[in-house]
Chain A
């Protein structure tokens, strides 16, 4: 048994196994390689959005006065900037997520295809974000 323990702590010998390519090997110069990180960052931003959503729901459930108090915080200028970012992150994460789901069916995995779809995702996401933000911050803001 003692033998087994010392065996466990012995340094792992070098094995010629294929290892997953480490991040430092990749060239991040092309946008298509950056799109994975962008999608992750957008997802992380939306996770923060979940906190805001729950806060808003809790305020709505706690009566008119609690809602009015929360609404003052939620409609402040810094949070309006956050909403613009969240809308953009949502648009990007949605479109990039659909790209991932298409990849999962085995389609669009060729290098040229994935480089093209990376730009397509960015373009469609930005278009959706501009439409949504334009609606909220220009059309709606002037209507009310």
Chain B
């Protein structure tokens, strides 16, 4: 502990006394655990993934600017939304690729967004865990179902 770390209460104390006090959980009590401060935080600190949520949210949002616009514009541009027209449209390889990407990226982006909403508004711990798990499962389900559907439509039109 360097000299800058000194507070007025530290006057007349030994370095050991000051260290013990600061490393125990409650100030004013003596060291209650033999675990060092380092040992206590080990396994609870940074896993270098602190920004992963933020970063993936940004990446997916950047990707969704062109993908989302493509989806909305081409859906609105379709002459009709009957079975034949939609099958024909999605039979095109590029449409299928972009649609699969759109479904996957949207599902990931949505999962991250819903996660934040749950974390902010569901306060009870058990309920929070349950909601987060259900949301994750649902999003994976939507992604899988969406990809399978696009593949079925586009592969059907090949034969």
Which of B61, B80, B86, B149 has a CB less than 8 Å from the CB of A97? B61
**Interface assignment of A58: CB less than 8 Å from any CB of chain B:** yes
CB A113 to nearest CB in B, in angstroms, measures: 20
Interface string of B60-100 (1 = CB under 8 A from A): 01101100110010001000111100110010000000010
- From A25-33, A39-47, A117-125, the one touching the partner chain is A39-47
Q: Count the A residues whose beta carbon is within 8 Å of the partner chain — how many?
A: 38
Interface SS of A by simple majority:
helix
Interface SS of B by simple majority:
helix
A-B contact count (CB 8 A): 94
Size category of the B interface is: 35 or more
A61 touches B148 (CB 8 A): yes
B83 touches A60 (CB 8 A): yes
**Interface assignment of B56: CB less than 8 Å from any CB of chain A:** no
Residues on B lying within 8 angstroms of A by beta carbon are 24-27, 32-33, 35, 58, 61-62, 64-65, 68-69, 72, 76, 80-83, 86-87, 90, 99, 103, 106-107, 110, 113-114, 116-117, 142, 145-146, 148-150, 152-153, 156
30 contacts between A and B (CB under 8 A): A7-B33, A12-B25, A40-B113, A44-B113, A50-B107, A50-B110, A50-B142, A53-B106, A54-B142, A54-B145, A54-B146, A57-B103, A57-B146, A58-B149, A60-B86, A62-B152, A67-B83, A67-B86, A68-B83, A71-B83, A94-B65, A97-B64, A97-B65, A98-B65, A100-B61, A101-B62, A104-B58, A132-B76, A135-B76, A136-B76
